[in-house]
């Protein structure tokens, strides 16, 4: 379980990004976070993803509080337990599909080269990119690039995927394909997914949606579609 208690965040310019946030996300839950631009969505998921530990309050991940952990510890936890998917894909343009997906495994100390090859080939097939292993990002469509980003996020079999506007740069048809992949991961592998989106139709794929405005959570509702 993931739990934040009375979390606040103030930036150096005295901008109050988050105020008294309380939120629990159960293992295997698919949560959408919605809110207008500047509402605090990105700040919230940076904290949830252990990318920012400069905040007030407490954050517990699997009953561990990492607020005062050093960078090495946080990096190890992120690598083992959390996968990230971003709106602009964040692929390395000079790396092939295979090499982009391989990046998290390079830092893993638990897998052999043979294991890595097997896992990479498995996730490439899982996201529908078989035959594209040697392609560069510039040779792929936006939807295919996002599939690479998802494959990279899941290659270490993380417990949690944090997705920041994963369909924001995609057309409606491709967005549906990407959301079907997330739903499959959630339902088949019980992967916890926390997704920021501005699109209500995309949020409806989640089990639950929380709304944030001016740094405060102000609504929490179960999905009509998946309830």
**Structure-token match 């052999």, residue found:** 112
> What are the pLDDT digits (tens) for 68-112?
899 999 998 998 899 999 999 999 999 999 999 999 988 766 666
Q: Is residue 226 part of a domain?
A: no
Q: Is residue 28 part of a domain?
A: yes
Q: Is residue 225 part of a domain?
A: no
pTM: 0.92
**Domain containing residue 140: CATH number:** 3.40.50.300
Print the domain residue range for 89: 2-220
- Higher per-residue confidence, 123 vs 115: 123
């Amino acid at each position: 379980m993931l739990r934040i208690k009375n979390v606040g965040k103030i930036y150096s310019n005295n901008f109050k990004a988050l105020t008294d946030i309380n939120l629990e996300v159960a293992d295997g839950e698919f949560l959408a976070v919605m809110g207008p631009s500047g509402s605090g969505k990105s700040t919230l998921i940076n904290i949830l993803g252990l990318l920012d530990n400069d905040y007030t309050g407490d954050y517990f991940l699997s009953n561990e509080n990492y607020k005062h952990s050093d960078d090495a510890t946080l990096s190890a936890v992120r690598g083992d337990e959390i996968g990230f998917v971003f709106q602009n894909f964040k692929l390395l343009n000079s790396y092939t599909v295979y090499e982009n997906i391989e990046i998290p495994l390079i830092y893993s100390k638990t897998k052999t080269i043979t294991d890595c090859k097997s896992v990479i080939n498995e996730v490439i097939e899982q996201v529908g990119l078989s035959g594209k292993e040697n392609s560069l990002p510039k040779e792929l469509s936006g939807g295919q690039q996002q599939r690479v980003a998802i494959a990279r996020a899941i290659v270490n079999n993380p417990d949690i995927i944090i997705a920041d506007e994963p369909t924001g740069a995609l057309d409606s048809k491709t967005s549906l394909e990407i959301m079907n992949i997330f739903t499959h991961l959630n339902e088949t592998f019980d992967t916890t997914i926390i997704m920021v989106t501005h699109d209500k139709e995309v949020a409806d794929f989640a089990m639950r949606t929380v709304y944030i405005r001016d740094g405060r959570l102000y609504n929490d509702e179960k999905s009509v579609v998946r309830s």
